[in-house]
Amino acid sequence: MLAPTRGSWEIVAVEKYWEHDLPERFGPMTTKELRQNLRRGSFVYPFLGIQLLAVIAMAVEFQIGDVETYTEWVGAMNFGLLGMSGPFWMVVTLICLLIMPLGGLVLMGQELEEGNHELLLLTHLDRWKVVLGKFFTLWGLCSLTFISLMPYVVVRYLLGSIEWWREASCSLSILGGSAILCAGAIGASSFKGLGARIGIMVLFLLSFVAGCFVPLAASAAMTKTCGVWYHLSAISSVICYTLLGLSLARSRLRLVVHAYEVKPSWMIVGLLVFTPFVIWMTTAFTGGYAGFVGLIGMAFVAIYADVTPKAPKWVTAPAPNVPKAGA
């Protein structure tokens, strides 16, 4: 029998008192993660550092003048746009899109290595709630840090010759990209060993680049602009790969794997390899316009690929085999 650990006691305490602390819609798992992360230096130091770096970047931009490189392809999820928009967006990309999301590479390990996940799943929490609690906390902290920089974005717009749609596109790219990297980092963190985590994270990033570049580039090329078809693919890219990353973490929380079942985590790893080919085929069949159909389809596959086996409602539970007294 597992001995109660610090994490298990904390989740029990949060379940009991969370309605008197944070809003009910947060849930006990999100509350637990928020409390832990807000006390860690992984949030405080990047938050303070990005404010200082943002001020320095703003001063550099005003000193050197025009810092943006012109391009016609202005749209969300165009990460090349971040590198062409001056030092300010480079700093934001470094902190909110790379450093903070990659902090998720340690999140699932603390639950799996100590056996906390088994105790969590004995409560009313299911696997999705455990994984989503970690995701919303990590992505929420990245988003909160980015939102704190909005005054700098407004100042750049008011004092410089900056297009509002370009600033909005960069903002959406940061939020969407950080969601994908947070999910991928959480999924990779569920594997044991630093080498395995790095390997899974590299595979996830390669799958993301290969799977999303083709529909985004094809839709932009067919319409000659980053229009409606392009942004449908951009939104679908965020949804698809966020769910793939979270499904990978969820698959590692299975308590029982039957002998006839494929190991759930390797099934999701196979999806990461297989997904780009499905997206490429969908993009080709739709003439380059609707690659988002393949992205949405693979998102549904990720959700239902690893379903917890449950008996039908009509099946009667077996009678308990309790020995009689005095037998």
pLDDT of residue 259: 62
What pLDDT, on the 0 to 100 scale, is given for residue 212?
A: 94
Tokens of 248: 């990978």
Block means of pLDDT (10 residues each) for the chain, 327 residues, are 49 47 62 67 72 84 70 86 84 88 81 69 77 88 88 76 81 94 92 90 96 93 90 95 93 72 82 95 93 94 78 70 65
Per residue in 106-115, pLDDT (tens digit) is 877 777 776 6
Encoded tokens for 49: 């550092």
Whole-prediction pTM value? 0.82
Asked whether the beta carbons of 106 and 40 are under 8 A apart, the reply is no
Do 302 and 243 meet the contact criterion of CB atoms below 8 Å apart? yes
On whether the CB atoms of residues 34 and 11 are closer than 8 A, the answer is no
Structure confidence by residue, pLDDT tens digits, 128-186: 888 888 898 889 888 988 988 888 877 777 766 577 888 889 899 999 999 999 999 99
The helix (H) or strand (E) run that includes residue 215 is: helix 194-223
CB 88 within 8 A of CB 61: yes
Q: What pLDDT does residue 160 have?
A: 65
What is the per-residue pLDDT for 172? 93
Please answer whether residues 83 and 90 qualify as being in contact, where contact means their C-beta atoms are separated by less than 8 angstroms: yes
Cα Dmax for the chain: 91
Cα–Cα nearest to 103, from 139, 133, 79, 148:
139
